[in-house]
Structure 1
Amino acid sequence: MKYFTEKDSVETVLARTSVAADERLQEVTAALVRHLHAFAKEVSLTEAEWGAAVSFLTKTGQICSDERQEFILLSDVLGLSMLVDAINHRRPAGATESTVFGPFHVAGAPVRSMGDDICLDGKGESCRFTGRVLNLDGTPIEGACVDVWSDNADGFYDVQQPNVQPKWNNRGRFITGPDGRYEFLGIKPTSYPIPDDGPVGQLLTQLGRHPYRPAHVHFLITASGHERLVTHTFAEEDQYLASDAVFGVKESLVASYERLEAGATQWHCEFDFVLTPSNAVPPLSTSSTHIRG
């Protein structure tokens, strides 16, 4: 029997776990205990700091609702959401990289015809989005579903303003033909702040960080025989590309926007998406070793 001491804190806690407990639960909990105890010892955590942390987590839980998940927001601003995404979606060279899903996807968006306009409120600078959905070898993928959504010109998604924006504003699904191409009209996206009126926003302020996300368009692409792709494309030259509040930007996802001089459409953005076959072997990575310490 081990009694608790500062030196043997980890071993004492882990010794209480039943051998009958789920093996994966034991592995994850043991790593969590080791890292938590090592953290507390490294910074010589004070009782006042521990109490402040408990209060912060309590307030984080209290602000959560069916419409708002402050804990996911906390995970986002600490970079944990992106790390989990990276670990679980390692892709072979040439495949389009993934990024965080975000809280504003709505299932069942209307299936629209190629070239349709998804901007229903008439705001913003119009943009034609085009590109192809391809296999790793460059073969066009027929029947791929390109599910797209973005904020409006004011930086809000339709679900954030149900009595202001039309339903399905800046949303739609497009099914590719034999050429793998997609095309739709929307708007050039704008940067916007994540909700910063709660504990997470207060933490960002105390850390001297801003709450903004760079302008981006969300894509969820699915096709038979291929892994689901959740990603964004980011507007080049956005001032927040290198300081995204949730660390979602990847260099390969920064898209070019061409200014059009004639016609009603003001911008054009071309971007190809390369999907990973369902049976593809993910590349070896040392990412997982970083979380074991």
Structure 2
Amino acid sequence: MDFTEHTATEAVQNSFSETPDARLRELLNTLTRHLHAFVREARPSVEEWERGIEFLTAVGQACTDTRQEFVLLSDVLGVSMLVETLNEQEGGTESTVLGPFHMVESPPRELGDSIDLVGEAEPCVVSGRVLSTDGTPLPNAEVDVWQCDENGFYDVQRPDSQPPGNGRGLFRTDDEGRFRFRTVVPSHYPIPTDGPVGQLLKATRRHPYRPAHIHFIVRADGHVPLTTHIFVADSPYLDSDAVFAVKHSLIVDFAESHDEAAAALNGVETPFRHAEFDLTLPRQPA
């Protein structure tokens, strides 16, 4: 079969016909069909295609042990959120993107510990429960949290001013499924713009900002893991998140509290900010 515009897709798909993994074969065939359709519709010049290859090469070269530029590209194109949305389980807390900064392990901490290792901002207490969809508390659930500081930087971005593990913690819920930790209210911030994804945003006149948020990954035996955020209710950019991750149900009020008893219980002074919310996990399918 001659390789022409009309036979190209079939020829490439046929080359995958002996792939033992049926799902891999399906994915490759679907990718080929849609990628070829894109090329036929857009009809890029050879120079434009070369520039595209150079861009993807630069994205790969920008990845390091603490930076994931391909995740960032997936995020700003809305692909990460689309995949999350298509795989979301009914009945649980809504999911959002993992983001490019879950690149290092969160240090294990005890309930009530602070993940703020710098201590330069207004204290904040974050608390809640991990529940099954029927409302049953989930004891010993794993709650992995990470966030930027009050200036909008993660520890891996500013190793000169933030100690490793700042803004990160791995917690286990108590017998009633409760978790709590001390931190600072995170800031809104720009995603990294010093790489090829930043160049893409500049070329398309898109802003790079994300509203203030805290990341969570929650796991419990017999339940579907959850990757999500909570968003600070009064943060800028809630209506124009650069990675399309904001969902109304995940916006949480970080209210100012002057409750002296609550402050003493949590090891902070008044006034402090307090965010209270539950995280709900669906059961694993039978």
Same fold (TM over 0.5): yes
**Structure-1 separation of matches of 2:128 and 2:15:** 56
Give how far 1:171 is off: 2.3
Q: Deviations over 1:29-57 (max 9, x none)?
A: 11111111111121232223212212212
Q: 1:270 aligns with which of 276, 279, 282?
A: 276
1:98 and 2:95 aligned: yes
Contact 1:129–1:186 (Cα < 8 Å) also in 2 = yes
Q: 1:221 aligns with which of 196, 218, 221?
A: 218
Give how far 1:183 is off: 1.9
Q: 1:109 aligns with which of 89, 107, 110?
A: 107
1:1-293 → structure 2 map (5 Å cutoff): 2-88=1-87, 90-93=88-91, 95-105=92-102, 106-112=104-110, 114-261=111-258, 263-279=269-285
Matched residue type, 1:160? Q
**Structure-1 separation of matches of 2:239 and 2:37:** 31
**Structure-1 separation of matches of 2:247 and 2:3:** 45
Contact 2:68–2:101 (Cα < 8 Å) also in 1 = no
Contact 1:127–1:265 (Cα < 8 Å) also in 2 = no
Matched residue type, 2:36? H
**Structure-1 separation of matches of 2:112 and 2:21:** 51
TM-score where L is the length of structure 2: 0.88
Gaps of 5+ in 1: 281-293
**Structure-1 separation of matches of 2:46 and 2:39:** 11
**Structure-1 separation of matches of 2:235 and 2:21:** 47
**Structure-2 separation of matches of 1:92 and 1:109:** 31
Secondary structure at 2:130 match in 1: strand
Q: Which runs of 4+ in 1 moved over 4 A?
A: none
- Identity of counterpart residues, as a percentage? 50
Residues 156 and 44 of structure 1: CA distance in aligned 2, closer, same or farther (over 3 Å):
same
Give how far 1:144 is off: 1.7
**Structure-1 separation of matches of 2:155 and 2:58:** 27
Residues 162 and 53 of structure 1: CA distance in aligned 2, closer, same or farther (over 3 Å):
same
Secondary structure at 2:215 match in 1: strand
Gaps of 5+ in 2: 260-268
Contact 2:66–2:156 (Cα < 8 Å) also in 1 = no
TM-score where L is the length of structure 1: 0.86
For the aligned residue pairs, the C-alpha RMSD in angstroms reads 2.0
Residues 76 and 140 of structure 1: CA distance in aligned 2, closer, same or farther (over 3 Å):
same
Give how far 1:149 is off: 1.7
Matched residue type, 1:4? F
Q: Deviations over 1:240-280 (max 9, x none)?
A: 12221222222221112212256524311111111111236
**Structure-2 separation of matches of 1:242 and 1:261:** 30
More deviation in 135-144 or 96-105? 96-105
Residues 140 and 199 of structure 1: CA distance in aligned 2, closer, same or farther (over 3 Å):
same
Matched residue type, 1:27? E
**Structure-2 separation of matches of 1:71 and 1:20:** 26
Secondary structure at 1:242 match in 2: coil
Residues 225 and 14 of structure 1: CA distance in aligned 2, closer, same or farther (over 3 Å):
closer
**Structure-2 separation of matches of 1:173 and 1:21:** 39
**Structure-2 separation of matches of 1:256 and 1:177:** 24
Q: Give 1:283's aligned residue.
A: none
Give how far 1:233 is off: 0.4
Give how far 1:221 is off: 1.6
Give how far 1:238 is off: 1.9
Give how far 1:86 is off: 2.7
Secondary structure at 1:61 match in 2: helix
More deviation in 222-231 or 7-16? 7-16
Matched residue type, 1:225? G
Equivalenced residues, count: 276
**Structure-2 separation of matches of 1:159 and 1:5:** 49
**Structure-2 separation of matches of 1:69 and 1:118:** 23
